[in-house]
Amino acid sequence: RKEVEQDPGPFNVPEGATVAFNCTYSNSASQSFFWYRQDCRKEPKLLMSVYSSGNEDGRFTAQLNRASQYISLLIRDSKLSDSATYLCVVNLNDYKLSFGAGTTVTVRA
Amino acid sequence: ETGVTQSPTHLIKTRGQQVTLRCSSQSGHNTVSWYQQALGQGPQFIFQYYREEENGRGNFPPRFSGLQFPNYSSELNVNALELDDSALYLCASSSVDTQYFGPGTRLTVL
């Protein structure tokens, strides 16, 4: 079983729509959680950390469910610039980040 | 921008050759991690260096090796290149648990 699994999508949504997707992780001892954004042929960039209490950054909301071992990301009022691959990332220990394969989101005009 | 730089940006090698990729970490970061990202996949952890010592390693063979220097910059060396080594190689620097990525080196093995 993969350490981090994501729905690859693609999610095709119109501008202004809300889109949400999850990822699941296999190791219950995982310590910290992140969403990274990756544009085509570019490096991953940190979008937000994910906390147990849930957190929001503008139009982006992340939730962590430790009991069910899943993480979610919700994007409200989608913009064209939100089109990217969103990588779910789990920190298993002090040094290793485990990445999902990514969820592709395309926002259309 | 993250302040993490990598060189070269692109590289073409043939099977059996050796390659060295370089990374300069963000100022103040003493930890560098290396990842391999094949097309359509998420980055896979290769290893991490902390204060010039290897601090952890992923599931990669010994022909993947590295170094970290006193200024915390780092090198990734790959010997006996194989076709499957074609990928984007990313380095990330960190001081606590958040890692910031450089632009990557795209390696093509022919």
Question: Tens of pLDDT along B82-103?
Answer: 999 999 999 999 877 788 999 9
Q: How far is B81 from chain A (nearest CA, A)?
A: 22
Question: Tens of pLDDT along B36-77?
Answer: 999 989 999 999 999 899 989 999 999 999 999 999 999 999
Q: Cβ contact (<8 Å) for B50 and A95?
A: yes
| pLDDT at residue B81 tops 90 | yes
The pLDDT value given to residue A76: 98
Cα separation, A76 vs A17, in Å, equals 6
Candidates A37, A49, A4; CA nearest to A22 is A4
Residues 6+ apart with CB under 8 A from A73: A20, A21, A22, A35, A47, A60, A61, A62, A86, A88
Residues 6+ apart with CB under 8 A from A58: none
Question: Tens of pLDDT along B4-38?
Answer: 999 999 999 999 999 999 999 888 888 999 999 99
Residue B57 class from Cβ within 10 Å (0-12 exposed, 13-18 middle, 19+ buried)? middle
Task: Tell me the pLDDT band of B1, cut-offs 50, 70 and 90.
Answer: low
Q: How far is A14 from chain B (nearest CA, A)?
A: 24
The residue of A43, A45, A51 whose CB has the most chain B CBs within 10 angstroms, and thus the best one to mutate to test that interface, is A43
Q: Give the pLDDT mean for A18-33.
A: 92
Alpha helices in chain B (DSSP H): none
Size of interface A-B (CB pairs under 8 A): 56
The pLDDT value given to residue A1: 75
Residues 6+ apart with CB under 8 A from B77: B18, B19, B20, B21, B64, B65, B66, B67
Which residue in B40, B48, B101 is closest to A43 by CB distance?
B101
Candidates B52, B58, B4; CA nearest to B26 is B4
